[in-house]
Amino acid sequence: MKKILFFVVIAAGLAGCNRSPEFYFTRANSLLASGKDLEALSNYDKALLLRHNFPEALTARGMLYERQGDAQKAALDYRKAIEMSPAYLPAYNDLGALLMDGGNYAEAAKLFSTALAANPDYPYALLNRGLSRYKLGDCAGATEDLSRAIDLNKKFELAYYHRALCARNARNLPAELDDLDAVLALDPAAVLARFERGKALFYMADYAGAAQEFDKAAKLKPEDALYPYWEGFALLRSGDAAAGLRAAQAAAALARTSHQLEGLLGDCYAALGDKTSAAEHYRKAAALSPKYAAGYNARLAALERPAPARPKAKKRR
C-alpha cells in the first residue's frame, strides 16, 4: 500500500508541474545524445510513469540499458514495448539486434519475420534478417533479404558487404567485387571490404591487383599482421619474391609466428635461391604444425634435391 501511495504522490507531483510525458521523453533523448545517461534514464522513467502505454519511451530506455551493458533490462523493455504496441516495429528490430549480439540468430530471424509480416518494406528488419540468415548459413535467403534492403536504402554498407560474402560462396566473384566496391564507395576506410576485395582478386589470379589491395588494408590497420601476410603471399604468386619476403617479414614483426607465416617465409627464400634460410623456416613451420608437417617436409626435401642436369648440346656435324 505504501508503494502505491508513493507512486500516486510522484505522479501527482509531475502532473502538477504541467509537464507531459512527451516533454520528458524528448528531454531524455537530448540528454542521452549528450552522454548524460543517468539524467536521461530519470526522464525516461518520468515519461513512463505519466504514460504507461509509451512504446517509444520503453524502446529508447531499452537502448540506454543496452548501452550500459544490461542486456536483461534492455530485452525486458523491448518485449514490453512489443506487448503494448505490436505495430511498433523499432522494438522488434532492437530486440532482434540484441538477440543477434548474443548469437541467437534463429530467434532473431523469427522476430524480424514477425515485423516484416506487418510491414514487408521495413528496411532495418530486412537488413537484420538478412544478416541473421547469413550467420545461419542460408545465403540464398540472406541475399534475397539484403537485396531488398539495398533497394530500400542504398547506404546499407553491411548489406553490400554480406551480400558480397554470399556471392563468393556462390563463386560469383564479379558480383562480389561489385558489392565490395559499393561498400568502399560509401566508406573508403572499410578495411574488411578492402581485404575481401584483395582476396577476390587473388582467387581470380590477379595477384598484383590483390597485393595492392592488401597493402591498402595494411596501411588502414598497420597493427594487424594478417594484411602484410596476404600481401606477401600475393606478391610471391605475382613473381616478386623479394617484395613478398619484405611483406612477410613485416607480418612476422607484428605477430607471433605461425606455420603459415613460416611457410611463406620459406617459400620466399626458396624462390630467391637462399636454400639455407628456406630450410630453416620450413623446419619451423613443420614443428609448429604436426598436421601439415608432411607438406613442409616435402618442400624441405625438394630443396635438398640436386638440380636436374641440363641436357648436353648436340654437336653439329
248, part of any domain: no
CB 76 within 8 A of CB 56: no
Angle between helices 71-84 and 89-101 (to 10 degrees): 150
Strand (E) or helix (H) holding 270? helix 259-271
66, part of any domain: yes
**Which triple of cell numbers denotes residue 153?**
536504402
128, part of any domain: no
Please state, in angstroms and rounded to a whole number, the distance separating the CA atoms of residues 276 and 209. 31
Q: Give the model's pLDDT for residue 315.
A: 52
How many CB atoms lie under 10 A from the CB of residue 187?
13
233, burial (CB in 10 Å: exposed 0-12, middle 13-18, buried 19+): buried
Q: Give the model's pLDDT for residue 152.
A: 97
Task: Report mean pLDDT in 10-residue bins for the chain, 317 residues.
Answer: 37 54 92 91 93 92 93 95 93 95 96 95 96 97 98 97 97 97 97 98 97 98 97 98 98 94 97 96 96 95 74 54
Q: Give the model's pLDDT for residue 1.
A: 38
Q: Give the model's pLDDT for residue 307.
A: 59
User: What is the tally of structural domains in the chain?
Assistant: 1
162, part of any domain: no
Question: Which CATH number is 42's domain given?
Answer: 1.25.40.10
CA atoms within 13 A on the CB side of 297: 9
Rounded (5°) CA angle 57-85-43? 10
Please state, in angstroms and rounded to a whole number, the distance separating the CA atoms of residues 297 and 290. 10
273, part of any domain: no
Q: Give the model's pLDDT for residue 206.
A: 98
279, part of any domain: no
Q: Give the model's pLDDT for residue 52.
A: 86
SS3 (DSSP) at 205: coil
Whole-model pTM?
0.82
Range of the domain at 38: 16-85
Residue 14: what residue type? L
101, part of any domain: no
225, part of any domain: no
